[in-house]
Structure 1
Amino acid sequence: MPDYPIYGSKEMLDDAFPFKIEIRRPQTMNDVLHAHEHLQLCYMRSGSCLHWAGGQCHVLAKGDLFSIPPFQEHRLERREGMDFVMCQVDFMPHAIHESLRDLASIETFVDFAFIRPLIAEADLMPKMTLTLPAQAVVESLLDVISAEWEEKEEGYRLAIRAELLKLLVLTCRQYKRYSGAESSRERQQVAYHRKAFFETIAYMESHYDEDLHLEDMAARALMAPSYFSNLLKLVKGKSYIELLSALRIQAAMELLLGTDLSVTEIATRAGYNHISHFNRTFKKHTGLTPGDYRKHQA
């Protein structure tokens, strides 16, 4: 277990709408090493401070946009004699995940927000410095989000989702341009980690009938187990257990309709060792027992 606190998303965010936006200054910053289950996007509106993440210290200044992935230890530190204003956006994927999953540039966002900060290399900085025009757009978006969050008028959640989605799209575009100016070695590192992650998803989709374990799949993806499951939630809309169950039940449904195999044989082929577990899981997903599903769909 880590020797720093890990804040659960339900402790800090409303599960019905897991989002919040806050302004951090020297008087309100969190200078204690910690981590949390949700994703955090931060933008430096003015001034400068230090950010410790993954055991490394980075200088943040006006115009810097950076992410803090789930379960990454970090803290802020004031630079002597300097003030700062930082906008902090906290959210869980399901706050906007239906829209986020459909983004054509999802891999770009994953690179910036989840993968790049994960790579523990001394010369990789988990931030990007926005151009002046981009800074103006980001600050305008954050102003609208802040106002909606503070006033909470009818429809504020929809309004926040819309503006947050714009912010994420802008982040994708800016990172694509920003990364074009980075070293080829850094791009290769990010691509290598991304490739491992998506190849692990493909492996699960083709080996769902095997005795798969979260720890083994996370190792394939070059990630910690909890982090891997959280990233699956963002990209696939399901945690590790949810995704594996969905793959197995989908296979079972196809076998029930397309073959005359017994329910017990189908359960085994779908990756279940115990028929009772299969029956419970199948009914949870479909509302019917395997036998009833075959009968009603025939």
Structure 2
Amino acid sequence: MRDYPIYAYKEVLDEEFPFKIEVRTPLNMNRSVHAHEHLQLCYMMSGSCLHWAAGKQYVLTKGDLFSIPPFQEHRLGPRDSMDFTMVQVDFMPHAINESFRDLARMQTFVDFAYIRPLISEADLLPKMALPPSTQPEAENLLRAILSEWEEQEDGYRLAIKADLLKLLVITGRQYKQYALTQSRHEHQKVALHREAFYKAIAYMETHYSEDLHLEAIAAKALMAPSYFSHMLRLVRGKSFIELLSAIRIQASMELLRGTDLNVTEIATRAGYNHISHFNRTFKKITGVTPGDFRKHR
């Protein structure tokens, strides 16, 4: 049973611009086990500390970049008497791009930040050591983001989005290089989880007429239900219910255009057991009733 808090992003980030950047040291590290709804990227600027994630302990040193995906329990801890400075970036994907598409298309970054940390194998560390040649560029971007965040002059959000997106591109490119040096086993595990996720979406698109539940579809994706729903928001911009409704309504629109079936039969074929629910959902998504849609097909 879970005995640690999970923070909703609206509790710790501004809803209008869900982003935050902070500098962590031994004086202000979070030593309590917790999780959060948003994505967290951390970079070790100097020193060394300990990090516990998914029940395992890792040593972090200068140049390490690591990701804490949504809903993963973790905490920081001191390493003997060593000092450290770490930059912590908390954000929701739509802080960068409302459509989610640009970030979702960065497959290598998604693998590093969202998929790889799910794989709790001893040889799969949830971190990546940036090479010395890449560290200055990453650190300069983080300093620029931190400066914009602290000063908040006109246009600071656009500046942060631009620099953060550049940082994510660097992260994705570096992970691609990093992955080339890793074992074939790791490649297979990451690919398996990614493939399972997209197969779960494909299952929704072909079995929408059935009584589908988040828990069962998330199991097909090899993810916890809350995490699967979060990934759907990243990749498709919709929650599980929103995506399933969109798929069902799209199918019903095709039936309304291409057949003479009555609305009740179409609702049933689209996966709705109650005509009133179908009518409400159809109008919410399309702006018109099924009957009006058919008249103007």
| Other-structure match for 2:216 | 216
Q: Which SS does the other structure have where 2:283 is aligned?
A: helix
Aligned-partner Cα distance in 1 for 2:157–2:254: 38
Superposed counterparts of 1:160-239, under 5 Å: 160-239=160-239
Cα distance 1:123–1:164, how it changes in 2: closer, same or farther (>3 A)?
Answer: same
Checking the alignment, whether the CA contact within 8 Å between 2:104 and 2:234 is kept in structure 1 is no
Q: Which position in structure 1 is the counterpart of 2:135?
A: 135
Aligned residue for 2:133, secondary structure, equals: helix
Partner residue in 1 for 2:15: 15
Residue 292 of structure 1 aligns with which residue?
292
What one-letter code is carried by the residue in structure 1 that aligns with 2:138?
V
The AA in structure 2 aligned to 1:189 is K
Q: What CA deviation, in whole Å up to 9, does each residue of 1:233-278 have, x standing for no partner?
A: 1111111111111111111122222222211111111111111111
Deviations 1:165-222 (A, max 9, x none): 1111111100000011011111111111111111111111111121111000110011
Instruction: Rate the CA distance shift 1:120–1:104 in 2: closer, same or farther, 3 A.
Output: closer
Contact persistence 2:148–2:156 (CA under 8 A): yes
Conserved in 2, the CA contact under 8 Å of 1:218 and 1:225?
yes
Instruction: Verify the 8 A CA contact 1:117 1:125 in the aligned structure 2.
Output: yes
Residues 118 and 104 (structure 1 numbering): CA distance in 2 closer, same or farther, change over 3 Å?
closer
Q: Is the 8 A contact 1:232 1:239 kept in 2?
A: yes
SS in 1 for 2:75: strand
- 1:5 matched to 2:18: no
CA distance in 1, matches of 2:63, 2:289: 56
**Distance in 2 between the 1:137 and 1:287 partners?**
48
Match runs of 1:244-283 below 5 Å: 244-283=244-283
SS in 2 for 1:133: coil
Tell me the percent identity: 71
Contact 1:100 1:106 (C-alpha < 8 Å) held by counterparts: no
Map of 2:93 onto structure 1: 93
Greater Cα offset, 93-102 or 154-163: 93-102
Show the counterpart of 1:66: 66
Instruction: Assess if the C-alpha contact under 8 Å between 2:248 and 2:271 holds in 1.
Output: yes
Unpaired segments of 5 or more residues in structure 1? none
Q: CA deviation at 1:60?
A: 0.3
Aligned residues: 297
TM-fit CA distance, 1:107: 2.1
SS at match of 1:90: strand
**What letter is aligned with 1:222?**
L
Residues in 1 aligned to 2:123 and 2:223: alpha-carbon distance in whole angstroms: 20
Give, in angstroms, the shift of residue 103 of structure 1. 5.1
What is the distance in 1 between the residues matched to 2:127 and 2:250? 40
1:98 Cα offset (Å) = 4.1
Q: Structure 1 segments of 4 or more deviating over 4 A?
A: none
| 3-state SS of 2:272 partner | coil
For residue 102 of structure 1, give the secondary structure of its aligned residue in structure 2. Answer: helix
Distance 1:236 1:70 in 2: 17
Is 263-272 or 54-63 further displaced after alignment? 263-272
- Residue in 2 aligned with 1:47? 47
Structure 1 position 97, deviation (Å):
3.8
Structure 2 SS opposite 1:141: helix
Could you tell me which residue of structure 1 aligns to residue 38 of structure 2?
38
- Which residue in the other structure is 1:114 paired with? 114
SS of the counterpart of 1:49? strand
Cα pair 1:22 1:89 within 8 Å, conserved: yes
State the TM-score, normalized to the length of structure 1.
Answer: 0.96
Q: Given the superposition, is the C-alpha separation of residues 237 and 100 from structure 1 closer, same or farther in structure 2, using an over 3 Å criterion?
A: closer
Contact 1:21-1:87 within 8 A present in 2 as well? yes
- Tell me how far 1:105 sits from its aligned partner: 4.9
The normalised TM-score by structure 2 is: 0.96
Q: Which residue of 1 aligns with 2:57?
A: 57
Letter in 2 for 1:68: I
Write out per-residue CA displacement over residues 140-165 of structure 1, whole angstroms, 9 at most, x where no aligned residue.
Answer: 11112111111212222222111111
* Amino acid corresponding to residue 86 of structure 2 in structure 1: M
